[in-house]
């Protein structure tokens, strides 16, 4: 018997080369999935989930990760797909991945081997889709992922500083999946496999398509056109608020936005997965590792490799967060049994050290919908669950999460279970019981608890959708008191944001004074980043709050943004000059000096100038005093003679 050469890589990774296709005995793939990230087969990476879901339904999928986009040749690596090309820019919008909030090019990419930058193009979804078209004419192209999801409507683009068309129009793709995508991708696959042309796959919730005619489109609401929102900021805000209100699977409407001589049709959101469906998705046979062809580590995998996703969705109402526009506000959670099985799986990993790094999701301590009404009627169109003040119908209950953490801690081989994905401290404070906070402090904080008050000025917090600063102060006091009661020495690591709409220099100074008064010295601070799909970005672009129509101050210039940031780190020598300039511009020279409440010392030349002035005055006084003494001496001598 002839000895067969084993495949170069384990066959249970999805194929990425022709050799791996042959090793699996696949002649033609159903789907070729082109992604902007490295191929990591782990449930924290969207492409891994979508491809494994397709595989579980009997479809074959191959992965082309971070291809050379300068020609179409790389897109031909796995041959012509039978059903469609799937396109995703990766776990992060490619422009956010590439550029800082100051629009400077980033030097690293956490989703690339070795953190190497430059392995994907700007606007990756558009580039990949066009290259796929070049590679094989006539093959349907379906785009998805966070970049496509948040850019599905005409949207303000921070990097171009203008309103761009829907990414569906710019990419030329046939269909766009928005949201998490598991339901949609299976429905699309089944439709294409049944022989239905892609042009007729227009009925699936959680998808968008372009059409020349609305004759076959029913029960829709038309919003302001691309041309209208591009020239009129009030039209932009109106269109955005309609999109924002209809982001609900139960009561959400089908929306139509004219684009030139065509129409963008956005079907209502797909229903969130049930607990049973979510369990099934996270228990698919992931390798939980990067493809073995990579010689260097993928930095983004480090924090999530031994973490557990327990929930999806968020009703927190942070205006600067795009999760509402992607995952929605309704919480869906995995069962305890499923999470315990995954924890046991982690303990069998050779490099597991006994620590589960996180048990959470967008917000760790959300394990149930905000109220009973949401299960039947959907989320409210014009009312937030949390935000600056909580809804009176908000139900606060941590008992399920406490029980889950206790069960996970008891799994053999698990030493510690941490909560690191962030908690909503306001939700904790609204709980009448201290049980969760006590449990968290006692067992699930590794010395520092990360929370995000974001600011201290209530007028800024109102725009952000965050609670008043007094509530944060009460949380800090409670956290520290419980630590003392439990014999612990642990601290809060707060996250603050500069230059958010509504934050002028006076608000930035207020934040700096707060940091000084409370003895906090943040080593890392965050500038507001106007990413697609957020309420804050709408405020940034239009200059008013689309919820109320009120004018909002927007710090736009690079110089003011730099000053607001410097005020948050006034204590660092490299930021003192800029902080001093900000204080002078804000009319707060009282905070420049050496007093108890001063933030920065005077400028060096001012100090030297003051010292020189003092010296000159002293010399003048001495000279005058000496002259007087000399005159007196002469007078006395004359009298003596």
CATH number of the domain encompassing residue 412: 3.30.750.210
- The reply to whether 509 falls in a domain is yes
Distance CA 584, CA 581 (A): 5
Tell me the pLDDT band of 630, cut-offs 50, 70 and 90.
very low
Q: Rounded distance, CA 282 to CA 49, Å?
A: 8
What is the 3 state secondary structure string of 151-212?
CCCCEEECCCCEEECCHHHHHCCCEEECCCCHHHHHHHHHHHHCCCCHHHCCCCCCEEEEEC
pLDDT at 621: 53
Q: Is 4 domain-assigned?
A: no
Q: Is the pLDDT of residue 115 over 90?
A: yes
Calculate the alpha carbon distances from 290 to 6, 65, 300, 307, 379 in Å: 20, 11, 11, 16, 38
CA-closest candidate to residue 127, choices 76, 59, 84, 70: 70
Report whether pLDDT(626) > 50.
no
CATH number at residue 489: 3.30.750.200
According to DSSP, residue 366 is labeled -
Specify if 239 maps to a domain: no
d(CA 312, CA 428): 18
- Once rounded to an integer, what is the mean pLDDT over residues 188-216? 97
What value does the mean pLDDT take over residues 220-244? Answer: 97
Distances (CA, A) of 571 to 451, 497, 509, 585, 600: 22, 17, 13, 19, 7
Assess whether 423 and 479 both reside in one domain: no
Contacts (Cβ under 8 Å, ≥6 apart) of 81: 28, 29, 30, 31, 32, 62, 136, 139
Q: Which of 9-13, 212-216, 218-222, 328-332 has the lowest mean pLDDT?
A: 9-13
For residue 122, which of 145, 94, 103 has the smallest C-alpha distance? Answer: 94
Do 525 and 471 lie in one domain? The reply is yes
CATH number of the domain within which 163 lies: 3.40.50.2300
Tell whether 605 is covered by a domain: no
CA dist 367 and 311 (Å) reads 6
* Mean pLDDT in residue range 578-595: 96
Question: What is the mean pLDDT of the segment spanning 8-34?
Answer: 87
pTM of the model: 0.90
Per DSSP, what are the bridge partners of residue 31?
Answer: 61, 84
* DSSP bridge pairs for 176: 143, 208
Q: How many domains does the chain have?
A: 3
Q: Which of 108, 96, 72, 76 is nearest to 151 (CA)?
A: 96
The side-by-side arrangement of strands in the sheet containing 84-88 is 61-65, 31-35, 84-88, 141-144, 175-177, 207-211, 262-266, 254-259, 220-222
The helix/strand/coil state of 367 is: coil
Shared-domain flag, residues 105 and 30: yes
CA dihedral sign, ordered 598, 604, 609, 615: positive
- 502: in domain: yes
What pLDDT sits at residue 523? 78
- In this predicted structure, the answer to whether residue 615 has a pLDDT above a threshold of 50 is no
> Which has more confidence, 470 or 606?
470
Q: How far apart are CA 575 and CA 600, in angstroms?
A: 9
Q: Is there a single domain that holds both residue 27 and residue 68?
A: yes
Classify residue 115 as left (phi > 0), alpha (psi -120 to 50) or beta.
left
Does position 295 have pLDDT exceeding 60, yes or no? yes
pLDDT tops 50 at residue 499:
yes
Q: With residue 141 as reference, give the H or E element that holds it.
A: strand 141-144
Helix, strand, coil percent content, the chain, rounded in steps of 5 = 40, 15, 45
25 in the same domain as 40? yes
Domain presence at residue 625: no
Q: What is the largest CA-CA distance in the chain?
A: 137
**CA–CA gap between residue 283 and residue 280 (Å, rounded):** 5
**Is 63 domain-assigned?**
yes
* Six token digits for residue 379: 């989320």
Q: Is 346 in contact with 356 (CB distance < 8 Å)? A: yes
Domain limits at 58? 18-207
Tell me: pLDDT of 322 over 50. yes
Pairing of strands 358-360, 307-309: parallel
For residues 439 and 457, membership in a common domain is answered with no
Chosen domain end from 417, 443, 469: 443
Asked if residue 300 has pLDDT above 60, the reply is: yes
At which of 443, 466, 491 does a domain end?
443
User: Looking at residues 513-517, what average pLDDT do you find?
Assistant: 96
Q: Is the pLDDT of residue 35 over 50?
A: yes
Q: Say yes or no to pLDDT of 635 above 90.
A: no
Q: What is the DSSP annotation of 447-499?
A: SEEEEEEE-S-HHHHHHHT---HHHHHHHHHHHHHHHHHTT---EEEEEEEES
Residue 624 inside a domain? The answer is no
What is the mean predicted confidence (pLDDT) over 60-67? 98
Among 162, 183, 207, the domain-final residue is 207
Q: Residues of 562-582 as b/e, b for ≥16 C-beta within 10 angstroms? A: bbbbbbbbbbeeebbebbbbb
User: What is the model's pLDDT at position 27?
Assistant: 95
Quick one: 30 and 87 in the same domain?
A: yes
Q: Please indicate, yes or no, whether residues 191 and 317 belong to a single structural domain of this protein.
A: no
Report which secondary-structure segment, H or E, holds 220. Answer: strand 220-222
- How much is the mean pLDDT over the chain? 92
In this structure, are strands 220-222 and 254-259 parallel, antiparallel, or unpaired? Answer: parallel
Lowest mean pLDDT among 142-156, 406-420, 464-478, 626-640: 626-640
* pLDDT score of 4: 36
The residue that leads in pLDDT, 399 or 2, is 399
- Put residue 521 in one of left, alpha, beta given phi > 0 → left and psi -120 to 50 → alpha: beta
pLDDT in tens, 142-175: 999 999 999 999 999 999 999 999 999 999 999 9
Question: Is the confidence at residue 446, as pLDDT, over 60?
Answer: yes
Quick check: 44 pLDDT over 60? yes
């Amino acid at each position: 018997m002839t000895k067969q050469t084993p495949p170069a890589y384990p066959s249970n990774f999805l194929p990425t080369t022709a050799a791996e296709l042959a090793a699996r005995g696949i002649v033609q793939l159903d789907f070729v999935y082109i992604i902007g990230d490295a191929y990591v087969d782990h449930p924290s990476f969207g492409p891994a989930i979508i491809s494994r879901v397709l595989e579980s339904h009997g479809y074959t999928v191959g992965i082309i990760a971070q291809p050379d986009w300068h020609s179409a040749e790389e897109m031909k690596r796995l041959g012509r797909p039978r059903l469609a090309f799937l396109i995703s820019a990766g776990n992060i919008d490619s422009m956010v991945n590439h550029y800082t909030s100051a629009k400077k090019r980033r030097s690293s990419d956490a989703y690339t081997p070795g953190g190497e930058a430059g392995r994907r193009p700007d606007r990756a979804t558009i580039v990949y889709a066009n290259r796929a078209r070049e590679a094989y004419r006539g093959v349907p192209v379906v785009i998805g992922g966070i970049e496509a999801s948040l850019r599905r409507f005409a949207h303000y683009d921070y990097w171009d500083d203008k309103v761009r068309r829907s990414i569906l129009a710019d990419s030329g793709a046939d269909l766009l999946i928005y949201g998490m995508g598991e339901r949609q991708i299976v429905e699309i696959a089944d439709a294409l496999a049944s022989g239905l042309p892609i042009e007729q796959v227009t009925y699936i919730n959680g998808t968008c398509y372009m059409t020349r005619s609305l004759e076959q489109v029913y029960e829709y609401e038309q919003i302001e056109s691309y041309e209208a929102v591009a020239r009129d900021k009030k039209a932009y805000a109106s269109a955005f608020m309609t999109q924002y209100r209809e982001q609900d699977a139960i009561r959400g409407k089908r929306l139509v936005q004219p684009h030139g001589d065509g129409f963008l049709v956005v079907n209502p959101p797909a229903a969130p997965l049930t607990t049973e469906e979510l369990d099934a998705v996270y228990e698919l046979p992931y390798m939980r590792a990067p493809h073995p062809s990579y010689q260097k580590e993928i930095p983004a995998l480090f924090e999530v490799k031994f973490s557990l996703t327990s929930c999806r969705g968020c009703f927190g109402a942070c205006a600067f967060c795009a999760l509402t526009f992607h995952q929605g506000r309704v919480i869906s959670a995995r069962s305890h049994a499923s999470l315990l099985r995954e924890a046991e799986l982690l303990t069998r990993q050779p490099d597991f050290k006994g620590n589960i790094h996180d048990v959470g999701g967008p917000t760790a301590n959300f394990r149930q919908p905000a109220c009973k009404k949401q299960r039947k009627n959907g989320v409210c169109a014009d009312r937030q669950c949390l935000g600056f003040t909580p809804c009176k119908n908000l139900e606060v209950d941590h008992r399920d999460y406490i029980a889950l953490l206790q069960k996970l801690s008891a799994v053999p081989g698990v030493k510690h279970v941490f909560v690191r994905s962030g908690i909503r401290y306001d939700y904790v404070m609204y709980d009448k019981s201290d049980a969760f906070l006590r449990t968290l402090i006692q067992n699930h904080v590794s010395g520092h608890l990360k929370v995000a008050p974001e600011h201290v000025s209530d007028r800024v917090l109102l725009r952000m959708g965050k609670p008043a600063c007094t509530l944060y102060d009460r949380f800090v006091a409670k956290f520290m008191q419980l630590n003392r009661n439990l014999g612990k020495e642990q601290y809060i690591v707060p996250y603050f944001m500069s230059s958010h709409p509504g934050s002028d220099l006076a608000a930035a100074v207020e934040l700096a004074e707060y940091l000084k008064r409370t003895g906090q010295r943040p080593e890392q601070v965050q500038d507001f980043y106007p990413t697609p799909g957020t309420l804050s970005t709408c405020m940034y672009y239009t200059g008013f709050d689309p919820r109320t129509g009120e004018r909002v101050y927007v710090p736009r210039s690079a110089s003011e943004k730099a000053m607001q940031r410097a005020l948050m780190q006034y204590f660092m020598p490299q930021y003192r000059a800029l902080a001093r300039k900000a204080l002078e511009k804000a009319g707060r020279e009282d905070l420049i000096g050496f007093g108890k409440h001063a933030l920065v010392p005077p400028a060096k030349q001012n100090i030297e100038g003051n010292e020189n002035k003092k010296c000159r005055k002293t010399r003048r006084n001495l000279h005058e005093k000496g002259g007087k003494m000399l005159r007196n001496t002469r007078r006395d001598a004359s009298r003596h003679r």
